[in-house]
Structure 1
Amino acid sequence: MERNTRQRKAIHTCLEQAGRPLAPQEILDQAQALVPGMGMATVYRNIKSMLEAGEITTVSLPGGGDRYEIAGHGHHHHFHCRACDRVFEVHACPGDMQKLTPDGFVLESHELTLYGLCGACRPM
């Protein structure tokens, strides 16, 4: 059984409140407000154990570092802002991707990442 430490609770709270995938540095920055003095090694140690426990999942971006989000969101995609580097959840899906696969292939899953500028970064 995993220990439910103050640090782990703080990380879980940060991920829940963010409502979007967070990079380890974002987790650290937000968790330090709840547990002053928390270090990056503690964040990585807790991420590892939370992944193993199935509490969180990894969001891997091509050419970018991994982000983490609370598990159990169901099928969804992501939007990556090229200006601020934040990642947001997209709760829509273009649908049946099987039609895009070559003849004779069977699609098992897909991931879609949209790239652009978020509302805070887009020019007005």
Structure 2
Amino acid sequence: MERNTRQRKAIHQSMSDAGRPLAPQEILEHAQGVVPGMGLATVYRNIKSMLEAGEITTVSLPGGGDRYEIAGHGHHHHFHCRSCDKVYEVHACPGDMQKLTPDGFVLESHELTLYGLCADCR
């Protein structure tokens, strides 16, 4: 059974409050508001155990570091702001991607990342 430490609670709360995928450094900055002495190694240790417990999921972006979000959001995509580097959830899907696959291929899943400027950066 995982220990529910103050640090882990602060990390989880930071991710919940953000409502979007966060990079480890962003998690640290938010969580330090609750646990001032927390370090990046603590964030990474907790990310690892939270991933193993299925509490959070990884959002991998081409050419960028991994981000993490609370699990259980169902099928969704992401928007990556090229200016501030923040990632946001997009709760829409263009639909049937099977029609884009070559004849005879079977699509098992897909990921879609939109790129541009967020509302704050535009």
Question: Do the two structures share a fold, i.e. TM-score over 0.5?
Answer: yes
- TM alignment of 1:74-89, pairs within 5 A: 74-89=74-89
| 3-state SS in 2 of match to 1:68 | strand
User: In structure 2, what is the equivalent of residue 108 of structure 1?
Assistant: 108
Q: Which residue of 2 aligns with 1:31?
A: 31
Q: Which residue of 2 aligns with 1:53?
A: 53
Aligned to 1:93: 93
* Structure 1 outlier segments of 4+, above 3 Å: none
The residue identity in structure 1 corresponding to 2:63 is G
Structure 1, residues 49-108: CA drift from partner, whole Å, max 9, x if none? Answer: 000000000000000000000000000000000000000000000000000000000000
Question: Match of 1:93, SS?
Answer: coil
**With structure 2 as the length reference, what TM-score do the two structures score?**
1.00
Aligned to 2:7: 7
SS at match of 1:48: helix
State the 1:121 CA deviation: 0.2
Task: Provide the rounded CA distance (Å) in 2 between the counterparts of 1:58 and 1:79.
Answer: 15
| 1:27, distance to aligned residue in structure 2 (A) | 0.2
* Cα root mean square deviation, aligned: 0.2
SS at match of 1:57: strand
Aligned residue type for 1:54: G
Unaligned 5+ segments in structure 2 are none
